[in-house]
Structure 1
Amino acid sequence: MLFTTQSRKEKATAMGLKITAAGFMVFIFSVPAVQGKDGWGVTYSSTEICAVKGSTVEISCTYTYPSRINNGETTVTETLWFTKGTDMAPVDLTTHAEYAGRVQYHCINSICTLSITDLRESDSAEYRFMITTNQPNGSYTGEPGVTLSVTALQVRAQKFKVSVHSVHAELFCDTTCQLPHPSYFWYLTGRSSINGQTKEGISYVNNFAYKDSFACAVRGLESFASLPVCVHNNYCNIVSYTKRSICAFKGSSVDISCSYFGNEAGLYVASKFWFNPGRSHQWRNPSEPEELSQDSQYAGRVQFRTSGAVATERGLATLSISNLRESDSAEYRFKFRAQRFEWRSDLPGTTLTVTALQIEVSKVSVHPSFNEAELKCLSSCSPAGRLSFVWFRNGEIVRGETFSYRSQIHPGDLISCAFKGYESHRSPAVYAPKLPSVSVSPSAEIEEGSSVTLTCSSDANPAANYTWYKEGGSPDIKPVIEGPQLVFSSIQSSDSGQYYCSAENKLGKRKSKNIFINVKYAPKLPSVSVSPSAEIEEGSSVTLTCSSDANPAANYTWYKENEDSPKASGQIFTITDFRAEHSGNYSCEAQNKLGRQFATICLTLAPGKPIIIISIIVVIIVTLLALILIAVLLLCCCRRKKNTLDSPNEANNPVHSVKMDSEYQHVSGSTPAAQTEDSEQQEQLM
């Protein structure tokens, strides 16, 4: 479904002049907003633009489109400007060799602007805008477009009266299209002021000397002044540059030339040279230009040639610069001096732009083993003429002619481009990132609390974007940080682990090898355990264990309170036969080269058990002693009684001792009276 706007039926009034440092734009006619069918439309800010050769122009428009078509949401997939081709097959200006390096698109919120720099008269054309959407056949072109006319300023003289040495005439600053109300001013023989004053106006009436040359310019666009001309005949003091702008490649050579003429016959030219006004800060006197060959920036790279003898009053002067650098991009002017004349060189000279081709990568689709990308060959300027492009893959020509190149880019591929005929001045190659390398700073042992920086680098063009990851065993590892550096301002033990980075650009992605970050730290507060964990009984075996998180691993030493020498070394301390004297506070020292920590535990016997045991033993001993004492007393009593009873009988009749025993055996069976009598006798004996 292709739509175009209806023919324009009316024009609005002129909009006025727009001047910028980069260019000159005149919007002459504007168009009221015109909506196309079903909500499609393009409205240009102007329909006709007149711009000065060499300047910059901006062409703007707004566009609309239906938000939904056939219940499907509409989105814009592409916008472009074109002058050639058809609505069905337009030639995108950004892919056109004639506009290489001079065209840019800017689109924001349905407002699109086309910028063209370094305007050429060949850029005069009708410019149209086209949008493409995701809908089938959903393209739209604004018709008619904007007509751009590029003009060069030119001095035209209308003579009124010619005399011997002068001519009375009116000078006009002509253009091929209308510039509304521009501010013109004039140059006289290379000078921007005449008798100390600047001459303003689109025309200039005066009696002009034959020896003088004239040029005009638009205020604010002095760099795009007209070429100087003689008012009468072609014999005046003049410098005319062969080219006002030159595009050259970095590393190549360039010739900048001009023709010059001195009015007086036999004029002796005392000096003639080229200079760069932008280097005036290097001159001894900023108002007195110095020869370019004396500038250290150009040492050994410039040559000056003239046609004819050195002192001739006319000829062709050529400046050659070899091994061009981008810093050589500047304006170059020619100056000559004679006995009675000096070319002032206020008039702009030749602007040189040194370019290096660059490849822009866009429209990328990612595949497992390759990326598919569209590449564009860009430059800050383009050489004169209708040029085509050449593309190279790994040094071999793969395609030519077109500004863009779409291809599969595999790891290791090197893609470059060049202008056809300038193959020796290729762009830098673009390629996917190579294997990234990782460095650690400082490279010495890492201690907790210090500052540590990990840096990832990879050779890639376009430059790679970096992402850091930490291995964690998870299949879905989240990035730690994006950027080439991972910085720990105060690294902690928990930061130890395996790290890697990825380097990625639009052409591919590579992962670095893992690097292990081993953070060293002093022992943490130790923990002490006792086994058995139940109450300690006297005589039992007790084991103390000390543990502390440390890197490097800690060494352990055991101490008892109020004792100078250590009790033991090692993580485990065992007391095999625990006694009361073993009770007390025990300290474990965990130590490595970075520091030490202590932990203390108190050991005591189980409460009450030792006292009960001792009490039982004392009771038993006391009881036994009491029993023994009672037994001894009883034995003594029995023996005394026996001795008392046996003493009288032994004196009279010792033979009855045995019988006594017999009688003793019957004591228990005697009568109570007898027992009482015996007791009384025993008491008397005692």
Structure 2
Amino acid sequence: MGVRGAVFLGLTLSILPGVLGGALVVMYPASQICALRGSSVLIPCTYNYPDNATVTERKWSKDITSNWDAPPYIYQSNGASLDSDYTGRVQYTEINKSCRFMLTGIKNNDSGSYYFRIKINMQPNAYSGVPGVSLNVVDQTLIVTVTSTGSDEIFLVDNVTLTCSTTSCSPNQTEFTWFKDGRPTYNTTSNTLSFNNVSYGLYGNYSCAPKDNTSIQSPQITLNVKYAPVNTSVSVSPSGEIVEGSSVTLTCSSNANPPVQNYTWFKTNGAAVWEKGSGQSFTITNISPGDSGQYYCEAQNSIGAQNSSVTLNVQYAPKSTSVSVSPSGEIVEGSSVTLTCSSNANPPVQNYTWFKTNGAAVWEKGSGQSFNITEVISGDSGQYYCEAQNSIGAQKSSVTLNVQYAPKDTSVSVSPSGEIVEGSSVTLTCSSNANPPEQNYTWFKTNGAAVLEKGSGQSFNITEISSGDSGQYYCEAQNKHGAHNSTAVSVTVAGKLNLALILAVSGTVLFLIIVAVVVVIAVNRRKPGPSGEKTNSGTQGVAEIFFENTAISQTLGGEKGPSAAAPDEDLNYAAIHFQAKTPVGNGSTKPEEDDPSVIYSAVKGQS
């Protein structure tokens, strides 16, 4: 039976004459196919037949010249008369009138023309689709070529196609595996790999190989995508906490093609930006809290630039520690005071501890940022300090509390101490405990219920003191917070002549005793005994001496002795009585009557 063939837009059709609609048709999408030796190739094919017909036989033949039904066949639907050279290498697929087959393990002698032959029940003879498909087996090295919608250079957003081929053919009916940087990355059913809107991640080295035989891999070709820096980042070394005084290195990393040409470092503070240095690394030695903040590097190449930032948090022990007192101003006894400790630290202060010192002694007083003293007393005065502590270290700060109070413990001392003699000088001194020190001292003398102000000043002097100065004295100590009175002290003035009188009388008495002794001795020597001789026992005269001391301050009358003194004079008399004693029966003596020999001595004091 005669057959006509036609090609439409690369599609080869073989049509049974006379019946196009519902006709017996074989179609070959590609009439010329090339394949690599050792690879696989897909021979595409579809067919059609009348709706009321039934397919009774399908088979593929190679290089038919005259007898279309002569075996051997490379494929036969009934499995008969197969060419042993194709056993196990033909994979036929019957899906939706598809007549394609895959030929694997391609050999050089597989080159030739392949025809699909179909037989239906309505036709007595089988039908072959001509001119079939021509397979060209090549034994050449694969190469990858790159085409781009842009210029010669490939930039982001360009469309790129990679083609795997040989110098003589393009095996587009072969499945390929594509390698990127030596690793299998993509699989395609054809020899092309396309990318739309390429990204920087596609940069790399590419190669291709038949999927079922990757040993015949092409040389690598570089997909050189040009892009500005991306994935810019900053690393900090050493990692972990950054402590004041240490050294820190910031390193900038970025992915760019062409590679980054310039790295520039900046530090920001709000809207302000300072350039700090250049180079891929930036080192800060002996870092301080002032170095804390946000840093960023700018990576730049000929295509563009990108920034990346990092924040440095420099940790340090407490510093600038200080103590404030509230309320400010004077601290008055009885009020309440709050001490507050402030410190600059990173991490923040974890513990505040309060201490009070007294010379070398130290007492812990409490903890917490604030320390309260309610109803403060004078004993609370002194130096206080707080210790601020975090995980890095500690620092102390002190303040002195000066508690002010009204005078207390006021007392009066008298100088000279002892008896106060009329005419002498006396100094009264007022002492008191007060803060601030006493500003005013006032002296008072009491006389019954009457109080007389006598003077001011810490000391009160009385010169030429007289008996009229005797009495109760007290002082009032006063400062701006109040006043306090001392306990009254008694001032008693003795007579002015008493001491002189005692001395005069003592001397006179001593003199008279001596005279009396002499007189007695003389009298006894002249007196004879009963027989005209002196006796040694019972007859000797005995003299008794009596002393009298009488102070007369008014006119004297009715007494023996000198005439009375004038009213304004003080007279003191001393009298010595000599009495002879007569022996009695038992040898004792008896005083005689008053002897007229009484000696009087008058002493007159001179003022």
Greater share of residues in strand: 2
Q: TM-score, normalised by structure 2?
A: 0.33
Structure of greater Rg: 2
Q: TM-score, normalised by structure 1?
A: 0.30
